[in-house]
Amino acid sequence: MDSKTQTVKLINAKHSLVTYLVRMDSASGAQQTLADSSAKLTSYKERLCIDVNELRGKTVLEVGSGHAAALSNCEISELVNVDPLMNVYIKYIKGFPDLYPDTVFLKSDAESLPFEHNRFDFIICINALDHFNDARKATVEMGRVLQPGDKLFLNVDCMNRLNVRIRKRVGHPYSFTPAKLQELFEPTCLNVTFEQSFDIGPSHTMHFIKE
């Protein structure tokens, strides 16, 4: 089996698994979703190393957001969440997305974002890049829809060079080291302004600014 076919099979398996789990747990509904969002915001601030006040009054896109809108109460002027499984969340999670009337939820792959060039002030991508079908294409797309001079905040689970995962896992067609992440972004219009690794996860955070 070639690498591309294996990646497609892994992604399809993940989508089927997540759909099943969401349907099984849909009874928890609105209250659990709100709890997830509150916990997620704390995690975002810690893992992304950001002051969410920087997002206030700005246009923000979260790529690979899942169903918990962590940034929904941060006084963002326009918050758009995209995820390839968004229709599943909307269909099966009781009360979602009505819990977040000021957030736009769209079904979209990261590799073909449905927005014009230079659309957003900030882009958030946390614990998602290694789930995408084509990580390189996704980085180019995020750079395309970000305004010049503005920022992408990225967090990805990483391994060091000796322990990088060799086998691909369901829903994780990519494994990264910090060096591999840097290589991935080299062809884009995004330049690194901040970088830090964490033991939790382990995860790696990078801030980029668009030329």
pLDDT in tens, 156-185: 988 765 444 544 554 566 778 888 899 999
Domains of the chain: 3-210 (3.40.50.150)
CB–CB of 157/203 below 8 Å? Answer: yes
Cα(41)–Cα(44) distance, rounded to whole angstroms?
A: 5
* Per-residue pLDDT, 11: 57
Q: The pTM is what?
A: 0.83
Q: Omega before 97 cis (within 30°)? A: yes
Distance between CA atoms of 15 and 17, rounded to whole angstroms? Answer: 5
Phi, psi of 183 (to 5 degrees): -60, -35
Q: What is the pLDDT of residues 37-66, one digit of tens each?
A: 677 888 889 989 999 999 999 999 999 998
**Per-residue pLDDT averaged across 14-38, rounded?**
58
Amino acid at 14: K
Q: What is the pLDDT of residue 3?
A: 57
Per-residue exposure over 115-150, b if at least 16 CB sit within 10 Å of its own CB, e if not: beeebbbbbbbbbbbbbbbbbbebbebbbbbbbeeb
For 80-131, write each residue's pLDDT tens digit. Answer: 999 998 988 888 787 788 888 899 999 999 999 999 999 999 999 998 998 8
